[in-house]
Each structure stands twice: as C-alpha cells, then as structure tokens.
Amino acid sequence: MQDIKMSAQNYIIIKSISLIAMIATSRKAISQVTISELQHLYPSSVPSHLIKMEENRILNALSRTKELDNEEDFIDASFSLEDFDYFEELLETRNKTAFMKKIGPTKRELNIYADSIAAEPHGILITKYIIYLLSSVDNDNKDRKIAISTFRNYYSIVKKHLFENIEDLSNVQTHEINEILQNLAINKYADKSISKVKSLISDFFTFSRQEHNTIPMNLSTYPKSLVFESEIDTILHRVDKQHTKKSAKDNEYQTLRDKAIILMARYTGLRKSELRSRLMQDIYIYEDELFVDVNKEGLKKLDLTLKTHSAERRVCAKIKNLAHLRIMTQYIELRVKMKTKNKFFFLQSKIEKPKVVQESIFSNLTKIIQDATGRYTSFHSLRHTFATYAVMEILQSKEVNPYMIIDLAVKMGHTSPEITLKKYTHRSVIESLSTNKDKK
C-alpha cells in the first residue's frame, strides 16, 4: 500500500525520467568519497602525507563519542514536517480567523514533539523555530510581531533554502552552507532576495543558539563514511575476538546476537530503535530470504514510536552470502530454543531473566565497526551501506526501472524516494565501485 501511495505521489517524476538520470541529477549525497575510502578502493594509490592528514581528521571526528553514541537517523528520521497534521492544516488555511485559531493547536503539536524523548536535535531546532515564528503572529512573542503573509514567506524561504539543504541542523557542514550560497548565484537571484535569504538563515541560527544552547551545533565536521561490503566479515571477526576475551557464561549467545544485529542492519537497513524493538513474531527466514515486520507493537513496549508514518513496513532481504545466512539462521534457531517469556528478538542475555538488549550495545558495535574500518563510521553507517549497495544493484540489473527506487524507499521507511537518493545513497562510492568492477 505504501509503495502505491508513493508511486502516485512521484508519478510525474518517475514517468518522465530514468533512474540513472534521477541519481545523476539528485543533490549531493551525504558524503563524497573521502581519502580513506579511496585508500580502501584503490590500495597504495594515495600519497602517504594525504593519508596522514586524513587520519588526523578522523581522530578529531571520532573524539565526538557522545554524538556517535546518541546518533540515530536525523533527517529521515526522525523528522518530517509532513507528519504534523495540525501544521499541515495550518499551511493550507487561507482564512485569517481560522488561521489564528489553529496556531494554538499547531504550537502544542510541535511542542509535544520537541519535548518528547524520541525528538532529535535536527527536528527540535526546526519545530522550535516554527513555534517562534508562530508566536510572532499570535502576539505570544511581545518583542516581535509579523503578519500571516510574512510568516508564510519566512517559512517558505527557510524551508527551501535551509531545511531542505542541510542534513542535520545541529551539525552543519561548511560545504552545505557554501552550496546554498552558490545556488543563489547560479539561479540568478536578485541582490535583494539573496540578502533576505541570508538574513533569515542568520536569524534561524541566532535564535537556535540563544534559545537552545544545550544542543551542540558543530559548523564543520568530517563526513561520515559507509561500511564496504568487503569489510562486513572483518567486523564479524572482531565481534568473535571481543567476546573470546570475556568469561561470561552466555558468550556464545552474545557473540551470535551481535553478529545477527550487524547482519540484519546490513541486509534490511533498519534503524537502531527498529532493530531493538523487534519481537519474535516479526522475524522469520524462508530459504535465503529474511523477512522483518516493522510495526508499533514492540516499540510500544519500550515506550518508543515509529519514526515516521512510512516506518511501518515489511522488509524482505535476500542473503546471498551463505556464511551470513547461516549466522542469521543459527541465531533464530538459538533464540527459539530459549525458554523465556520475553518475546523480544534480541535479548541482553540468555541466562536468568533476560531483558531486551540495552541501547549501549550500539555504542559497543560502533567502536568495533570503527576499529575494523579505520574510518569515521558508526553503526548507523550500515543503513547507508544498505541503501548504497541496493541502488548499485538496481543500476546493474537488466531492467532498470525507476519504480525500483520506490520499493527501496518503502523498505527503508522513507517518506519519499528523494530522501533515499539524497541522504543515503553515496553516489561517488557507487561510481568508484562500478568502475572497479568494470576493470575486472
């Protein structure tokens, strides 16, 4: 049902343009190929002094351990303004009296999100700024008064030039700001319009820092990498190595569990909260296909919610690697044999009274992934790996159909295929991997 709805919404685009063109003309991916990735793709081809510079930048990025530990899928995320019903209605309201009446419920809706445990910095910054603008319309903001038409104009400008061009507003990349300014020049905006855009962008960041200075806002960071397919087995080996050093009674279970978590993230692209909240009834394997139902039931038990309306879905993943398939099958068989009333798929332990696996496991797996890759990666990088390799597989298929990207967006729980292409597909990596494959 979700793929039908998304196909209808994107009918004109996918009807008139090929998938290759869609990818080629999409906005820059979250990161271009870094020097460390080039070194992996083309061993011994990068000058040593550049590698040394890269290592220093990576160490600096990895020092932000707290940010990595708490990372979750920012934009795709957790956040889409389309999910706020009152706000959507407000934007469609043309009658002044009706508009003013809807401001209160809209602000309450946005505040509920901003104050929730599930809210993340990117979404908080956007919702709080919109509340700030709306308060300037209904006189809650005594220092500033704007008309409804001015609100619409301001919102339209920051949405188009800021919200839709910055991956994470609490972690702004320098190149993102540069691209915004470059686009203004390329599209020949008038000087007055450029000044207005700059002024509102400045207003947004000034407000965000003054009102929410507890939210870290890094203006220059190192781009996060994905995990290459060839590195998955190295990561699994390091999981083995780590648990071998421990003396816990259920080492065998914890080792198999950690491997299964990594492989499920790689082959399904599930978010951390979706992996942690899966129940036994949500997962099964038939031959070489893994089926995972992402629904509200397990999330409710953990007092969590779906990231977006599109997050409820069924993911079917074909596992061609026999060793990986065997690991997933072994874990499922072991989990089925465990005599416990706890129905969560991933448990912290199999002894005594097992509880659902703790969130801290993802911090530990992030460290293992970083050690194995030697790059600025995290557990969330596996979601980028899933998307990038899926798009590469689509491009290499005999019948390249734009509707395939709709199916991929549905599997990832995205609200549109645009998010899949712009935020998760590392286009430059696809091009490099494809070039390598052609040479072989």
Residue 399 lies inside a defined structural domain of this protein: no
Note whether 106 and 193 are same-domain residues: yes
Determine the distance from the C-alpha atom of residue 72 to the mean position of all C-alpha atoms in its chain, rounded to a whole number: 7
Q: What's the pLDDT at 233? A: 96
Residues 313 and 346 occupy one common structural domain = yes
- Rounded to whole angstroms, the Cα distance separating 424 from 162 reads 19
Count CB neighbours of 128 within 10 A: 19
pTM of the model: 0.63
Name the band, by pLDDT with cuts 50, 70 and 90, for residue 225.
confident
Model pLDDT, residue 302: 87
Task: Quote the longest CA-to-CA distance of the chain.
Answer: 70
In the chain the first and final C-alpha atoms are separated, in Å, by: 41
pLDDT tens digits, 365-384: 999 999 999 887 889 899 99
Bridge partners (DSSP) listed for residue 284: 291
How many CA within 13 A on the CB side of residue 271? 29
The pLDDT assigned to 11 comes to 45
Single-letter amino acid, residue 359 = E
Backbone angles phi, psi at 419, to 5 degrees: -65, -45
Residue at 248 is within a domain: yes
Note the pLDDT of residue 29: 40
CATH of the domain at 287: 1.10.443.10
- Cα–Cα distances (Å) from 165 to 78, 122, 182, 426, in that order, read 16, 12, 12, 16
Based on the domain organization, do 237 and 369 belong to the same domain? yes
pLDDT of residue 19: 55
User: Tens digits of per-residue pLDDT, 22-33?
Assistant: 555 554 444 456
Average pLDDT on 23-50 reads: 64
Answer yes or no: are the C-beta atoms of 310 and 415 closer than 8 Å: yes
Asked which of 373, 401, 427 is the last residue of a domain, the reply is 373
Separation of alpha carbons 346 and 107, rounded Å = 38
- Of 30, 129, 74, nearest to 308 by C-alpha is 74
Q: Which of 179-188, 201-210, 239-248, 320-329 has the lowest mean pLDDT?
A: 239-248
- Closest Cα partner for 250 from 361, 356, 351, 365? 351
DSSP state of 378: -
Does residue 302 form part of some domain? yes
Q: What is the mean pLDDT of the chain?
A: 80
| Cα 101–Cα 105–Cα 111 angle in degrees, nearest 5 | 140
pLDDT 10s digits, 96-154: 999 999 999 999 989 888 887 667 788 889 999 999 999 999 876 666 789 999 999 99
Query: Which H or E run contains 264?
Result: helix 251-268
Tell me: the pLDDT tens digits for 291-345?
999 999 998 898 887 877 788 999 999 999 999 999 999 999 999 998 888 999 9
| 20-23 contacts at long range (C-beta below 8 A, 24 or more positions apart) | 20/395, 20/400, 22/402, 22/405, 22/417, 22/421, 23/391, 23/395, 23/421, 23/425, 23/427, 23/430
Nearest to 416 by CA among 426, 406, 424: 406
pLDDT, tens digit (0-9, with 9 covering 90-100), for 252-299 = 899 999 999 999 999 999 999 899 999 999 999 999 999 999 999 998
Is residue 70 scored above 70 in pLDDT? no
Q: For the residues 74-84, what does the mean pLDDT come to? A: 58
Question: Looking at residues 65-74, what average pLDDT do you find?
Answer: 43
Domain that holds residue 129: 74-211
User: How do strand 283-286 and strand 313-318 relate by DSSP bridges?
Assistant: unpaired
Q: What's the pLDDT band for 211 if we cut at 50, 70, 90?
A: low
Q: Name the residue with tokens 């190929």.
A: 33
Q: Using one digit for the tens of pLDDT, what is the confidence trace for 395-435?
A: 887 776 767 888 898 999 887 787 788 778 887 777 777 66
Do 256 and 362 have their domain in common? yes
205 and 280 housed in the same domain:
no
The band of 234, judged by pLDDT with boundaries at 50, 70 and 90, is very high
Contacts of 93 (CB under 8 A, 6+ apart): 99, 102
Residues 148 and 250 occupy one common structural domain: no
Residue 15 lies in a domain: no
Classify residue 204: in a domain, yes or no.
yes
List, as one string, the DSSP characters of 219-238: SS-PPPP---GGGHHHHHHH
Domain annotation covers residue 381: no
> Nearest-5° angle of CA 142, CA 147, CA 150?
115
Answer whether 391's CB lies under 8 Å from 425's CB. Answer: yes
How far is CA 300 from each of CA 54, 85, 296, 297, 342, rounded to the nearest angstrom? 43, 21, 6, 5, 14
Q: Do the beta carbons of residue 216 and residue 67 sit within 8 Å? A: yes
Which residue among 373, 391, 416 closes a domain? 373
Q: Are residues 196 and 275 in the same domain?
A: no
